[in-house]
Amino acid sequence: MNQIQRLRGMVDVLPEQTERWQAVEKLAREHFYRAGFKEIRTPLIEVTELFSRSIGEATDVVGKEMYTFSDRGDRSCTLRPEGTASVVRAVLEHGLLNQGSQRLWYAGPMFRYERPQAGRQRQFHQMGVECFGLDSPRSDVEVIAIAWDFLQALGLDSLVLELNSLGSTEDRKNYRALLVEWLESRYEHLDPDSKQRLKTNPLRILDSKNSHTQSLLQDAPTLQKSLCDESSDRFKAVQNFLEALQIPYKINPKLVRGLDYYSHTAFEITSEHLGAQATVCGGGRYDGLVEQLGGPSVSGIGWAIGMERLIMLLEGFKTGGSSPDAYLVNKGDKAEAKALELARKLRSASLSIELDGSGSSFGKQFKRANRSGATWAVVLGDDEVNSGQVRLKKLYCSNNSSSENDLLVDYSDLDRLLALLRS
C-alpha cells in the first residue's frame, strides 16, 4: 500500500460524524455555562515533569503510555495524556487561585501510546471540569451532578454511577500497608499481574479481573475500614446529598482510580454498551495535587468525559442532518457568472446555498439538487439572465417537472427572493 495512511490509533472524524460531535459539544457548553464554569485552554505539549509529578511515576500512564520527545532545546516534552495536570499548572502560573475559588472546564485531544481497541485510541478527546478551593462534600455532589445531568440530557439510559472513597492520603497510606502485608502472606496464590502490582501499585489489585484473585480478596481488609472518622463522615455526607438529589449510585469498594493524585471521593460513570472500556466519565477529588505541584494548599475536584466513548453511546441517535436552504442550478456563461454573484449575496444574508459548479445539463443539476436535500432550487439560465429573473422551484414536493408552477423573481429584488427562500 503506497497510499499514506493515518498513524496508528489516530482517528479521522468524518463529516457524517462531526455533526454529532458538534451537537454534544454544544450541549456540554450549555451545561457548563449554566453551572457557572469558565473555559480554559491549555497547550497540548507540556514539560514531561509536570505529568510524572502529578500523575505518578508508578502509573502506567507515565510509565509506558506517554508521547515523550526532546525538542530542539533538549527539553523533555510530552503530549498531554490527560487534562488535570495542565489546568493546575496554568492556574498556578497565572495566579488564578489568588482570586478565590475557580470553576473551570476544558475540552480537547489527549494522547496515550497504547494498543488501540474499542473505546480506546492514541489520540482521544476529553471534556472535563476542574474546581479549586471547593472543600465541602456538597461540592463533590454538585460536580457529579453536572456530569450526570449532562449525560441524562443526551438521553442516555442504563448509565451507572459508581462511587467510592479513597480516604485521605494518610488513610490510604495506612490501608496500603495493611493490604500489602495481607497480600504478601498469600503471595503464592496471586496471579502474575497482581504479583507485579504488589510492588508498583498494590491498591490496583483490588479491581483485578482475575477471578481467582477476586475470590481470594473476599476476606481482604477493606479500604472502608481504614478510613478515619472524618473521611468516613465525608463519604457518608456525599451519599446523603446524592440521595437528596435523587441521583442513583452504586458503591464500589474496589473502585480505585489509577492516577496517584486522587483522594476521598472517586467516581466513574459506566455503561454496559461500551465493551471492555466501560467508563464514559471518571473523576474525583484531588486535594493534594495543587500543593504537590508547588502551589498553595488548595483542594481540587473534577472529572473527564471520554468523547469517543460518549459518541459511541449516541450512535443510534438522530442529529437532524444539515442540508442547504437552496441549491443553485445554473448554466451558460452569463448565468454562471450571475449565479456566483447571487450565491454570495444570499449567503451574506445567512442562507446556506449550494452552488452547482459543474456546468452540466439541467437534468443532471436537478438530480443533484434533489440529493442535496435543499428545499428550493434556484434556477439561472440564459432565459432568466435575459429577463433579469431567477426561477424558484420547490423541491421534493409535487411530482411536476413542468416549469408552470415556478416562481419568477427579479434578481434585483433581493428582499422578495429572501422572503420566499425563507418561507
Partner RNA sequence: GCGGGCGUCGCCAAGUGGUUAAGGCAGCGGCUUGUGGCGCCGCUAUUCGGGGGUUCGAAUCCCCUCGCUCGCCCCA
Residues numbered 124-183 forming contacts with RNA, rule: CB under 7 A: 124, 126
Asked if 382 interacts with RNA (CB under 7 A), we say yes
Asked if 275 interacts with RNA (CB under 7 A), we say yes
Asked if 38 interacts with RNA (CB under 7 A), we say no
Q: 386, 149, 162: which is closest to 270 by C-alpha?
A: 162
Q: Tell me phi and psi for residue 305, to 5 degrees.
A: -110, 135
What cell numbers appear for 413 in the block? Answer: 429584488
Stretch that binds RNA, among 131-139, 182-190, 226-234, 300-308 (CB under 7 A): 300-308
Stretch that binds RNA, among 54-62, 100-108, 144-152, 246-254 (CB under 7 A): 54-62
Least distance in angstroms from the C-beta of 332 to RNA: 6
Contacts with RNA: how many residues (CB under 7 A)?
A: 79
In angstroms, rounded to a whole number, what is the distance separating the alpha carbons of residues 4 and 24?
Answer: 31
Q: Whose Cβ is closer to RNA: residue 6's or residue 26's? A: 6
Q: Whose Cβ is closer to RNA: residue 7's or residue 246's? A: 7
Stretch that binds RNA, among 85-93, 141-149, 166-174, 299-307 (CB under 7 A): 299-307
Stretch that binds RNA, among 38-46, 182-190, 287-295, 357-365 (CB under 7 A): 357-365
Stretch that binds RNA, among 40-48, 227-235, 293-301, 364-372 (CB under 7 A): 364-372
Asked if 366 interacts with RNA (CB under 7 A), we say yes
> Site for RNA (CB under 7 A): which residue of 317, 370, 388, 416?
370
Asked if 265 interacts with RNA (CB under 7 A), we say no
> Site for RNA (CB under 7 A): which residue of 40, 134, 304, 409?
304
> Site for RNA (CB under 7 A): which residue of 13, 27, 118, 251?
118
Least distance in angstroms from the C-beta of 201 to RNA: 7
> Site for RNA (CB under 7 A): which residue of 67, 368, 372, 413?
368
Q: Whose Cβ is closer to RNA: residue 366's or residue 411's? A: 366
Task: Say if CB 390 and CB 378 are below 8 A apart.
Answer: yes
Q: Whose Cβ is closer to RNA: residue 222's or residue 279's? A: 279
Least distance in angstroms from the C-beta of 75 to RNA: 24
β-partners of residue 107 are: 127
Asked if 305 interacts with RNA (CB under 7 A), we say yes
Stretch that binds RNA, among 68-76, 169-177, 298-306, 318-326 (CB under 7 A): 298-306
> Site for RNA (CB under 7 A): which residue of 31, 103, 112, 285?
112
Least distance in angstroms from the C-beta of 155 to RNA: 18
Asked if 371 interacts with RNA (CB under 7 A), we say yes
Least distance in angstroms from the C-beta of 346 to RNA: 18
- Roughly how many angstroms between the first and final C-alpha of the chain, as a whole number? 51
The CA angle 118-124-128, to the nearest 5 degrees, is 115
> Site for RNA (CB under 7 A): which residue of 321, 363, 415, 423?
363
